[in-house]
Amino acid sequence: MKFELIEDIERDIRNWQKSIVAKSYGVNWKKFLPPDISAKRVRDKEYLRNYLEKKFYRSGKVSEFKHWMKDNLNASQIKEDLEQLMGKKFPFRTVKIFITTFHRAPYNVEQSFFYLIWRDSNRKKAITNIYHELMHFLFHLYYWNKCKKAGLSDVKIHILKESLTVLLNPILEKRKLLLDAGYASHQEIRTRLKKLWRKEKNFDLFLDKAVKLEF
């Protein structure tokens, strides 16, 4: 599996415009708007394009970040770590990674792409984010229907999916990366999943027990 890092201002613009009206996991993404641009200006595509070009693109900030990621990503290691954790194989030859300058990173498993937040500092956090997003891919591919059959609603499956990334932290610590913090509203279930994982390290058997938790 290879990663294709993509600098695409049109995609970035769409992510900004969708993000200011998005809410998920207790987060109103509009709150991440920087102080020098309003939601009204973000809705103005041409204004937003000029803003992003001036602040991020013409200066080469996005391009420089992309090259740093290419130099520091180990796709085969990430693939091996996640396949070993979840006991499943990635079916993709290539995963596209679109760089975004907004603090929200949606994904699409069917089209095998996700967004990655541009970072000027703490860039290893971006590698942590890649582990996070690709763990979601494996969950959707192999475990979503299992959760549905167990009787979980889509809302609860999403909560479980996000909370399960706590299992990445031993791997991330081993790779000397920043840990996966998760959403504030998921901290209790993350703690319970971590305790459950200590007792059962086979992901399929672990999930059989996890879907029975109250959350």
User: pTM score > 0.85 for this model?
Assistant: yes
- Yes or no: say if 116 and 126 are a contact pair by the CB < 8 Å rule: yes
The separation between CA 25 and the C-alpha centre of its own chain, rounded to angstroms, equals 13
Q: What is the pLDDT of residues 142-165, one digit of tens each?
A: 999 999 999 999 999 999 999 999
Q: What is the pLDDT of residues 16-65, one digit of tens each?
A: 999 999 988 777 999 999 999 999 999 999 999 999 999 999 999 999 99
Unique residue bearing structure tokens 């693109």:
57
Percent of the chain with pLDDT over 90: 94
Query: Using CA atoms, how far apart are residues 7 and 139, in angstroms rounded to an integer?
Result: 27
pLDDT of residue 90: 97
Q: What is the pLDDT of residues 69-120, one digit of tens each?
A: 999 999 999 999 999 999 999 999 999 999 999 999 999 999 999 999 999 9
Query: Using CA atoms, how far apart are residues 140 and 1, in angstroms rounded to an integer?
Result: 18
pLDDT of residue 27: 79
